[in-house]
Amino acid sequence: MIKLLSRFAFNTIKQPSVAVFNTKKYDIDYLTKVNTSLPEEKQVKLSFFAEQLNENSARLAHECDTVCCFVNDKVNAQVLRKLSTQGVNLVALRCAGFNNVDLKEAEKLGINVVRVPAYSPEAVAEFSMALLLSLNRKIHKAYNRTRDHNFALDGLVGSNLHGKTMGLIGLGKIGICFAKICKGFGMNVIAYDPHRDQKLAESLGFQYVDESDIFYQSDYISLHCPLTPQTRHIINDHSITKMKENVMIINTGRGALIETKAVVNALKKKKIGGLAIDVYEQEEKLFFKDVSQEVLTDDVLARLLSFPNVIITGHQAFFTHEALMNISQTTLNNIYEFKIKGSCINQVHPQ
């Protein structure tokens, strides 16, 4: 069993060796660029692996003391135990979410976990508005039409956002950025968050309401909360019954915030007027991959894709130059802080 990291332990590690899992070309490019730009004493040894971290691939980290993984990697108890026996004592997430990590098991094994709590919240907020505009004004349909030289406007009627009510669930950094954007469109913004900041509400001109009121009052609902036992499937059969007819839902948060089958039923009944999601509850086997030559075996996702009023993107809301730089910088700085101090401001603890 690996003991808790100490300052002395990190001081004796001249250069942390990091196994980076689930890597794409852009991960390699940005992490390498940031790493080589650092002073030599802050640089780490990076080993890149295209494989997702799971029970089978964990063995690839056998010569490393740190693993760096992403939102869809499996960091469950079995994986952590295997990593621990190989000498890994730090898991560096290059994402904000950590619901894929068994934090209690990590603590038991003395494996520390760090994350990137914020990386250009504007990137996700701006993408959320892009999804809303595309869905509401049917830009995706218009694009496909004009590619076929069809310039007719039939079936492309949208609605003004100005004067409509946007309901936000979750008012962290991304939610605040999105609230500002909505106010810029002249929308009435209401928000539900267990942690209320009345001064913030007054300065931005929005109103806090209870969870039920979000569903009752909103013309549009956008999800920006973390995935917790309390927020899992916050969009479900019961909450949908409270919503306005033809409500539109945007999700750039976490896939499991939505009970997908409930939303499919509501789309079929035309209760929900539109859905735009950048995350999906079962995305780990599909997103960030090209499966265009394979048969789609996920029947729920296939049904979603069949609706003309549904837009699905592959978890790209974060995907800007600024965000990728921030992610790489914070990830490498987290590793360095642990090397020097044995602690980090971005450490994640079991709740």
Contact by Cβ (8 Å): 96, 327: no
Q: Nearest-5° angle of CA 242, CA 124, CA 312?
A: 65
347 three-state secondary structure:
strand
Contact by Cβ (8 Å): 13, 65: yes
**315 an active-site residue?**
yes
Cβ burial of 181 (10 Å; 0-12, 13-18, 19+) is middle
Alpha-helical runs (H) found in the chain: 7-11, 25-37, 77-85, 103-109, 121-137, 139-147, 173-184, 198-204, 211-217, 237-242, 260-268, 299-305, 321-341
Cβ burial of 96 (10 Å; 0-12, 13-18, 19+) is buried
DSSP state of 75: B
**140 an active-site residue?**
no
Catalytic pick from 81, 115, 224, 315? 315
What's the token pair of residue 142? Answer: 């218009």
Which sign does the torsion angle of CA 47, 52, 53, 57 carry? negative
Please choose, from the candidates 295, 299, 302, 348, the residue with its C-alpha nearest in 3D space to the C-alpha of residue 97: 348
Catalytic pick from 81, 94, 115, 254? 254
**94 an active-site residue?**
no
Catalytic pick from 105, 259, 283, 284? 283
Q: Which residues of 231-269 are buried (b: 16+ CB within 10 A; e: fewer)?
A: bebbbbeebbeebbeebbbbbbbbbbbbbbebbbebbee
CA distance 129 to 139: 13
Catalytic residues: 254, 283, 315
